[in-house]
């Protein structure tokens, strides 16, 4: 694999571009807070049910829970895509991905 790193890096860059468009959607508090996050672990959408805004402390807690779940799911998606790219070869980390 190390001999093929020159061939591998363009594939990684292509995967990075694809991950910008791939998303995961998570929620907390029975849908009170919903977050859509892309494969670069960026929040692309954030939705609150109107009644959730009435309790700022609860809203903060639910937003934190949803964000953390979004990070886990997004990273899982990246690992799955990276595994497809490497043919299942376990790679601890690839800079710029996870």
Q: Is residue 94 part of a domain?
A: no
Regions in the chain scoring below 50 on pLDDT: 1-2
pLDDT of residue 94: 55
In a domain, 68, yes or no: yes
Domain that holds residue 50: 22-84
User: Is the residue at 72 inside a domain?
Assistant: yes
CATH code at 32? 3.30.1310.10
**Position 66 in a domain:** yes
What's this model's pTM, rounded to 2 decimal places? 0.78
**How many distinct structural domains can be found in the chain?**
1
23 pairs with which residues across the strands?
38
Q: What per-residue confidence (pLDDT) applies to 85?
A: 79
Q: Give the integer Cα–Cα distance in Å for 13 and 34.
A: 29
Structural domain contains residue 96: no
Helix boundaries (H) for the chain: 5-21, 56-86
For residue 38, the model assigns a pLDDT of 95
pLDDT in the model for residue 97: 57
Eight-state DSSP code of residue 25: E
């Amino acid at each position: 694999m190390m001999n093929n790193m020159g061939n591998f890096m363009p594939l990684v860059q292509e995967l990075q571009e694809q991950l910008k468009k791939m998303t995961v959607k998570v929620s907390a508090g029975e849908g009170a807070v919903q977050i859509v996050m892309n494969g670069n672990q960026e929040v692309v959408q954030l939705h609150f049910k109107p009644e959730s805004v009435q309790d700022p402390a609860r809203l903060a807690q639910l937003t934190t829970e949803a964000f953390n779940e979004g990070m886990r799911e997004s990273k899982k998606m990246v690992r799955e895509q990276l595994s497809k790219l490497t043919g299942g070869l376990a790679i601890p980390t690839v800079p710029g991905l996870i």
